[in-house]
Amino acid sequence: MAGELLKYSAEAALKLLPAGRLALLKDGLLAARDEALNDVELWQSGGAIPEAKQPLDAGFIQWPEELLADLRANKDTSLVGRLEACAARLQAAADSLVVLGIGGSYMGMRAMFEALRTPFHNEMTRAQRNGTPRLYFEGWNVDSDQQKVLLNLLDQRAAANPNSVDGRTALIVISKSGGTLETAVAFRTFRELVERHHGQDAQSLIVPITGEAGRLRSLSNAAGYKDVFSIPDGIGGRFSVLTAVGLLPAAAAGFNIRALLQGAADMTEHFRTAPYESNVVLQYVAVGHAFEQDAGMTCRILSTWGSKLEAAGLWYDQLLSESLGKHERGATPLTVVNTRDLHSRGQQHQEGRRDKLITNLLPGAPQQIPVTVPQHHLDQDKLNQLAGTTMPRILQAAIDGTNQAYADDRRPTADLVLPTINEHALGQLFQMLMLATVVEGRLVGTNPYGQPGVEAYKKNMQANLGLK
């Protein structure tokens, strides 16, 4: 293991359940873990998948371990080696990188970008960015103004720097099905820009990541792009963050994708081997399930503290909603950022309907030298008494104060604590939440894979446009 494991503690919440409540769920959860792990073998066996199990996208579970083994055995020619080489090529070739994708095809990378980079990354010089490109996300909506502003910006950059890397834009276009309209339309518009400015170089500036078949795959074959990466068959969109989908843009942004994979592999190993009582995945599912069953707490609030983990929460919102929101069941996830949202949702969480389990997602040690409150000769705000106090200390006071206020009103809170925010911790977090989602699905008899409900809007949208 290359770093500390994240911690989960539900001590405060458990005071609100009868003693021994989680022990009653032990057999069911161990069976759900076995089922989730057996699904990997079932899928790998290549045999017929029983109808009740379809679709089965369990490939994400052992995938990080497989990629690391491939890296050890095949080094530069391994998938990780090839992704890193492609990322280095994109970094050297272009100063703007646009990642096109929607849902599971971009939310994981967005989570990593917001967690590991400053919000001002794109405002920094290339040297300050250590030669990594400016990064933009598109194709995740149908917003003409927003897209136009970015297209114009990239156009202007190309016109102002015709012969330098500063003017060049690269594209990573991601769609597993290859047919998602939002992404496909954005790919047309951004492809046109890259081809217009960079001519033949577009072949190497555009990197598609897609399934083995589909429209994007056919288009990529026809265009002859230098690099095209595959999303494996047995890994669904929202479980694909640790495939090329998240790894290529992450490597291009300068993240350590080996540490990311190691974090995920460490979590899988913990999930497989740790006893029920100390298994963070199983305990996390047990607590959520117990409060849903016993107290009708169907809202799962992921309360992120500080500003870096909001997109990780949004990634999880999508994972839980699409995986378990089926058959008129499934908890409703909601990510909040505190202390920001204490001033918008805090009232409801403190005194509203008792349908909420709150899990604090705590970021661990700060990475920069902490800000401290300065002394000032004008003390009308009475803050000289805090002079020298660090911002993390103020945040901790808010966390403790909020938890205390919830506990005093018998509102359950639990903590998910990252050792710090780095690639290893994020790899663990992604894998933990994906495993937890699958285990909960198996526990309650909902197939966590697939999202049949999303087809209805797609079909209607295509019909409205007269598309075939």
Q: Tell me the catalytic residues.
A: 322, 343, 458
- Which amino acid would we find at residue 104? G
Chosen residue from 110, 238, 258, 345 binding ligand PA5 by CB under 6 A: 238
Give me the residue whose beta carbon is nearest to ligand PA5: 237
Query: Nearer Cβ to ligand PA5, position 138 or 322?
Result: 322
Angle (CA) 66-71-72 rounded to 5° is 100
> Is residue 448 at the binding interface for ligand PA5, with CB under 6 A as the rule?
no
Scanning 149-157, 234-242, 355-363, 415-423 for contacts with ligand PA5 by CB under 6 A, the matching segment is 234-242
> Is residue 220 at the binding interface for ligand PA5, with CB under 6 A as the rule?
no
Per-residue DSSP letters for 233-261?
Answer: TTB-GGG-TTSHHHHHHHHHTT--HHHHH
- CA atoms of 311 and 151, how far apart (whole Å): 24
Chosen residue from 62, 91, 96, 180 binding ligand PA5 by CB under 6 A: 180
Chosen residue from 96, 132, 177, 413 binding ligand PA5 by CB under 6 A: 177
CB of 176 to ligand PA5, least distance (A): 4
CB of 311 to ligand PA5, least distance (A): 15
> Is residue 237 at the binding interface for ligand PA5, with CB under 6 A as the rule?
yes
Scanning 5-13, 68-76, 98-106, 389-397 for contacts with ligand PA5 by CB under 6 A, the matching segment is 98-106
Scanning 17-25, 231-239, 280-288, 391-399 for contacts with ligand PA5 by CB under 6 A, the matching segment is 231-239
User: Among 195, 219, 194, which Cα is nearest to 209's?
Assistant: 219
> Is residue 263 at the binding interface for ligand PA5, with CB under 6 A as the rule?
no
Chosen residue from 133, 208, 236, 330 binding ligand PA5 by CB under 6 A: 236
Residues 407-446 as x/- pattern, contact with ligand PA5 by CB under 6 A: ----------------------------------------
Per-residue DSSP letters for 328-356?
Answer: T---EEEEEEETGGGGTTHHHHHHS-S-E
CB of 233 to ligand PA5, least distance (A): 13
> Is residue 451 at the binding interface for ligand PA5, with CB under 6 A as the rule?
yes
- CA atoms of 356 and 276, how far apart (whole Å): 24
Quick one: CA torsion of 202, 205, 211, 215, rounded to 10 degrees? -20
Number of residues near ligand PA5 (by CB under 6 A): 14
- Binding to ligand PA5 in span 390-409, by CB under 6 A: none
- Binding to ligand PA5 in span 182-211, by CB under 6 A: 183
CB of 251 to ligand PA5, least distance (A): 19
CB of 240 to ligand PA5, least distance (A): 7
CB of 177 to ligand PA5, least distance (A): 3
What is the chain's Cα-based Rg? 23
> Is residue 321 at the binding interface for ligand PA5, with CB under 6 A as the rule?
no
Chosen residue from 110, 121, 129, 176 binding ligand PA5 by CB under 6 A: 176
Residue 37 near residue 272, CB atoms below 8 Å: yes
Residues 269-308 as x/- pattern, contact with ligand PA5 by CB under 6 A: ----------------------------------------
> Is residue 110 at the binding interface for ligand PA5, with CB under 6 A as the rule?
no
CB of 103 to ligand PA5, least distance (A): 3
Kindly give the pairing relationship between strand 413-417 and strand 356-362.
parallel
In sign, the C-alpha dihedral spanning 433, 439, 445, 447 is positive
User: Among 434, 430, 427, which Cα is nearest to 448's?
Assistant: 434
Q: List, in sequence order, every residue forming a beta bridge with 83; answer none if it has no partner.
A: none
Query: Nearer Cβ to ligand PA5, position 183 or 243?
Result: 183
Angle (CA) 424-429-434 rounded to 5° is 130
Per-residue DSSP letters for 74-127?
Answer: HGGGSHHHHHHHHHHHHHHH-SEEEEE--GGGTHHHHHHHHHHS-TTGGGS-TT
- CA atoms of 198 and 439, how far apart (whole Å): 48
Residues near 147 by Cβ (< 8 Å), separated by ≥ 6? 138, 186, 189
- Which amino acid would we find at residue 73? A
Chosen residue from 62, 105, 360, 447 binding ligand PA5 by CB under 6 A: 105
Name the site residues for ligand PA5 (rule: CB under 6 A): 102-105, 175-177, 180, 183, 236-238, 322, 451
